[in-house]
Structure 1
Amino acid sequence: MIDFNTRSPLTPTLKVTLGAVMLLAILDHTRIFFHYWNTSPTDMETTTLPLFFTRTVSHFFAPSVFFLSGVQCHFYGKNVHKRKMSVTLAKKGVALILLEFAINNFLYTFDLYYRTMGIFILAILGISLLLLALLIYLPPRILFPLSLMGILGHHFLDGINYGGQSSLQILGALLHHQKFIETKRCLFIINYTILPWAPLLWAGYALGWWFEQDFPAVIRKRQLKALGLFLILVFVLLRSTGWYGETSDWNMGTNTFSVSLISFFDLNKYPASLCLITFTMGGLFLLIAFLEVRTSNITDLLMEYGNHSLFIYLFSTFTLHLAAMLTLPLEGFSIWAMVITPASYLTDSPLENHGFPLIAVYGIWLFFVAVFLKAIGYYSQLMKNKAKLISLN
C-alpha cells in the first residue's frame, strides 16, 4: 500500500498475499454498496452465517496491510541511509493522511460537502509511518518488543472513558478508542486507532529480515506454519476462556450452533482486539507459507493486485460506489440517494429499501474483479509510459 517506486519490491510471495487480501477488501466494499442497506452482518437478530463470514473474512485485510507495509519499509531501508529513510517515511505518512481526508473520505460518500469524514485505514497507516520515521533509529531487538507491548497490552486502556470532545479526549480516542464526533458541519469518525495498528506495522518492519530472498525458503515456510498455528491456538484459548483479548463475551448457551459460531467469531475491530489480531495474523502467516514459491494463473492474477494495491483500493471504492449509484434508478430511487451523509443511516433514509441478495453481491464482486484486472493493466502501462518520459527528460 506504500509506493516506494522500485526500491522496495516485496517478494513475489508477499505480493501475491497482498493481492489475495485486496480481493477480500473489494468483497467487503461490494457488500457495503450492493447488499441490503443498513443490514449489519453482526446483528444476531438478523444476520446469517454467509453474511457474517462475508464480513469476517475481510478482517484479514487491515492486519495484513499494516504488517506487510512494515516489511516493505524494511526492504526500502536496506537501500538508503536512515536519515533519508526517515524523511521518506514522514513524507509518505503525510501523503497518506492527506489522501485519506481529501480523496478516500470522498470516495466512500460522494459528498462534496464532506458531511461525513473520518480516520480510516489510510490515515492510520500514514500516522504509523510518521511514528516509524522516528523509531527506525531503534535497533530491532528494542523495536520488536516495543511493538509486542502495543499489540498485547493495549487492552489495559479499555476501561478509560473518552466520551467528551476535549482535545485530550479526542487524542485519547485516536490512541485507542472508536469515537463519533458530531459537529455543526459534519460527523467525524475515528475508526482506526494508533493502537494496535501502528505497532503491527512496526513489527513487520522489525521482522522484515525474515522475508528477505536470501533467507532459506524451506526454513521460513516451516516457521511460518508453526507461528500461524500457534497464533490461532492462542486465539482459540483467549476467546474460549474470555480471559483477555476481547471486549465482548461469546454466547455459549444459545440453542443454535450457528448463533454460537457467529458469537465466537464476532471480534472487535474498532479498535482491533488481540483476539482479532491473533486470528488474522495466524491466518496470514499460514497463507504466506502456503503461497511460498507457488505459481499458477491465479497467483499471477493476485500478484497484479498486489503490485498496485493502493491504486486498486481507491479505484475499486470509486467504481463500486458509482456502479451502486447507477443501479438506484432500476430500483426506483434517485441516484443522489447514494451521496452518503449521516442521514443515510437513519431508518427513513431513501436507501432503506436498496440492496440485493448476498448471492448477487458475490456475482457483482466476481464481475468487478475481472474489470479491475483490466484497469490494472491500463494503469501499469500508463505508469511505464510516464517513467519513460521522465527518463527521457
Structure 2
Amino acid sequence: MELTKPYRVSSIDILRGIVMIIMALDHTRDFFHVTAFSADPLNPATTTPALYLTRWITHFCAPTFVFLSGISAFLASRKKSRNEASLFLIKRGFWLIFVEVVVITFGLTFNPFFNIIILQVIWAIGTSMIILGLLSRLSYKAVLATGLVLFFGHNLADYLHPDPNSGAAVFLTVFLSSRGTLVPAGDNAHFIGVFYTILPWTGVMMVGYAIGPLFQAGFDVAKRRRILLGSGTGLTLLFIMLRLVNHYGDPRPWKHYDTFLQNLLSFLNASKYPPSLLYVCMTLGPALMILSGLEKTRSKLASVASVYGKVPFFYYVLHFYLLHLILVVLFFASGYTTRQVADPNIPFLFRPAAFGYELPVVYLIWACAVAALYGPCRWFGRYKERNRKWWLSYL
C-alpha cells in the first residue's frame, strides 16, 4: 500500500528538531555527568548556574514534543475518515508503548534481563494517543473541551487527599499526581518505573490537536503567527502571575532564599514530575512564540534542525543507543572492569556511581553524538520521502 506525500509545515519540523537536539543534552548529562545520580541540578541551594541551566533548558523538550505530536495527529487525520484516524492513533499508541518497554528501555539500561522497565515520554505519548484516538471518535469539540480541562485544571488534584489505600488514591497517583513510581513486577528483582504520569501529558497533546486547524494548508500564515504569538505570550504571563501568587498550578510552591539568583532559580523550578500547569505554561508559552517566529525562517541552522525534526522517533531511539555505546567505550577506557558493569544504585549498566565528567566534557560528547546522527537522520528522512509505505507512518 502506497501513501501520498503528506503536507508538512516547516516551522513544526524546525522547532521539533531544536527540541530533539536539546533533549539529547539531558540524556548525555544522565549518562556522563559526575553528579548526575548524586545531586539535584535544580536545587537552588546546592547547584551552579551552569548545571542548573543545563537541566532547566531541557524542560522545554517534552512539552513541546508532546504538543507538536498533537498537531501532527490532527494533520494526519485530515486524509482519513474519523474511524480510520481514530484506529490509527490507537494502534500507534500501543506500538509506542511496546517500543518504550522493549527498545528504549534496553537502549537506556543495556540490561538484557530487563530488571527495570522505564516508562517515560514515549509511554506518555503512546497512552495519550490511545485516549485521543478514543475521544476523537466523538468530535473535535470533545477533544478541545477535555484538553482544556486537563491542561488548566489537573492541578486541582493537588488539593485532594483521599485515603492512601483507596482506589481514588491509586487513580490520582497513576493518572495525575505521580512524581515517579517504582512498581514491583512479580518479584524483588524486577520493577516498572513509571516516571511520566498520564493525564497531564494527554491534556498537552489534546490542546496541540485542538490548534491543529491553524496549520492546515491554505490557512492564513499571518493570522496563524498572530494567534501563536498571542497564545504564547498569554501562557507566559499566566505562568508569571500564578507563580507570584504561589497557590495554584504547581504542587511545590517556590521558596525564598538568601540571594536574588537563588530566588530566581527557585521561581523557575516548576514541577515536571508530574508536569504542573506552571511547568507547561513556562515551556509552551515561549515555544509557541518561537513557533510563530519560525514561520519564515530559511537559515542554514534551521535547515539542519529540520533534518532531526522530520524523523524525531528515529532520532530518539538511535540517540540512546549511540550514547550508551559511547558510555561503554569510556567505561573501559577509564579502567573499569566487567565486575563493575552493574551498580545496584544505578539503573544503567556500565555507569558506576563514581563515574563521570565535568560539564565541558558532557557538552563535547553531546555535540559529537548529535553531529554523528545528522547523516543517518538525513538518509532516513529522504528514504521516507521517496518511499511512502504504510509502515513508515509508525516510525
TM-score (norm: length of structure 2) = 0.89
The verdict on how the C-alpha distance between 1:24 and 1:161 changes in structure 2, with shifts beyond 3 A counting, is farther
Q: What's the secondary structure of 1:260's corresponding residue?
A: helix
2:287 is equivalent to residue 284 of structure 1: yes
Residues 24-62 of structure 1, C-alpha deviation per residue, up to 9 Å, x if partnerless? Answer: 111111111111141321234431111111111111111
How far residue 326 of structure 1 moved from its aligned partner, in angstroms, is 1.1
What is residue 366 of structure 1 aligned with on the other side?
A: 367
Q: Which residue number in structure 2 is paired with residue 308 of structure 1?
A: 311
Matching residue's letter, 1:359: P
Matched residues in 2 for 1:196 and 1:333: separation? 41
Q: What is the Cα deviation at residue 164 of structure 1?
A: 6.4
1:243 shift after superposition: 2.1
Q: Partner of 1:34 in structure 2?
A: 32
Q: Which amino acid aligns with 1:344?
A: I
Match of 1:239 in 2: 243
Counterpart in 2 of 1:219?
223
CA distances 1:62-112 after superposition (whole Å, capped 9, x unpaired): 111111111111111110111111111111011001011111111111111
Aligned counterpart, 2:96: 96
Match in the other structure for 2:378: 377
Identity of aligned residues (%): 27
Q: How does 1:40-55 map to 2 (within 5 A)?
A: 40-55=40-55
Q: Distance in 2 between matches of 1:228 and 1:335?
A: 50
Q: Supply the AA of the counterpart residue of 2:214.
A: W
* Matching of residue 318 in structure 1 with residue 316 in structure 2: no
Is this contact kept in 2: 1:175–1:194, CA < 8 A? yes
**DSSP 3-state at the match of 1:214:** coil
Q: Does 1:116 align with 2:151?
A: no
Per the alignment, in what secondary structure is the counterpart of residue 193 of structure 2?
strand
Contact 2:128–2:199 (8 Å) recurs in 1: no
Choose the corresponding residue for 1:22, options 7, 20, 39. Answer: 20
Determine helix, strand or coil for the equivalent of 1:237: helix
Distance verdict in 2 for CA 1:113–1:206, change over 3 Å: same
The 8 Å contact of residues 116 and 187 in structure 1, kept in 2 or not, is answered as: yes
1:64-143 correspondence to structure 2 within 5 Å: 64-143=64-143
The one-letter amino acid of 1:78's match is R
Query: 8 Å contact 1:108–1:317 — kept in the other structure?
Result: yes
**Deviation at residue 387 of structure 1 after TM alignment:** 5.9
The range that moved more, 77-86 or 256-265, is 256-265
Structure 2 stretches lacking a partner, 5+ long: none
Q: Distance in 1 between matches of 2:4 and 2:378?
A: 18
Indicate conservation of the 8 Å contact 1:175/1:195, yes or no.
yes
2:28–2:362 CA contact under 8 A, matched in 1: yes
1:117 is paired with a residue of what secondary structure?
strand
Counterpart residue identity of residue 144, structure 1: L
| Structure-2 residue corresponding to 1:334 | 337
SS in structure 1 at match of 2:336: coil
Letter in 2 for 1:208: G
How far, CA to CA, are the matches of 1:160 and 1:118 in structure 2?
28
Cα 1:364–1:109 shift into 2, 3 Å: same
After TM superposition, give the deviation of residue 304 of structure 1 in Å. Answer: 0.4
Query: Which residue does the alignment assign to 2:346?
Result: 344
Q: Which runs of 5+ in 1 are unaligned?
A: none
Give the distance between the partners of 2:282 and 2:234, measured in 1 at CA. 10
- Note if contact 2:331-2:351 (Cα within 8 Å) is conserved in structure 1: no
| Residue identity in the other structure for 1:257 | F
Give, as a single letter, the amino acid of the residue that structure 1 aligns with 2:326.
Answer: A
1:161–1:10 CA distance, 2 compared to 1 (3 A): farther
- Secondary structure at the counterpart of residue 79 of structure 1: coil
Native 8 Å contact 2:143 2:206 kept in 1: yes
Q: Match for residue 181 of structure 1?
A: 183
- Cα distance in 2 for partners of 1:239, 1:385 equals 48
| Distance in 1 of aligned mates of 2:72 and 2:278 | 25
Q: Matched residues in 2 for 1:234 and 1:99: separation?
A: 36
Name the SS of the counterpart of 2:346 in structure 1: helix
1:105 partner amino acid? T
Structure 1, residues 322-369: CA drift from partner, whole Å, max 9, x if none? 101210123222367565x652279xx972221111122112211222
Task: Map Cα deviations across residues 279-300 of structure 1 (whole Å, 9 max, x no partner).
Answer: 1110110110111121111111
Residue equivalent to 2:356 = 355
RMSD of equivalent CA atoms: 2.6
What letter corresponds to residue 192 of structure 1 in structure 2?
Y
1:151 Cα deviation (Å)? 1.1
Q: 1:35 to 1:81 in 2, by over 3 A?
A: same
Using a 3 Å threshold, how does the CA distance of structure 1 residues 230 and 387 change in structure 2: closer, same or farther?
closer
Matched, 1:228 2:226: no
Whether the 8 Å CA contact 1:333–1:350 is kept in 2: the answer is: no
Contact persistence 2:117–2:192 (CA under 8 A)? yes
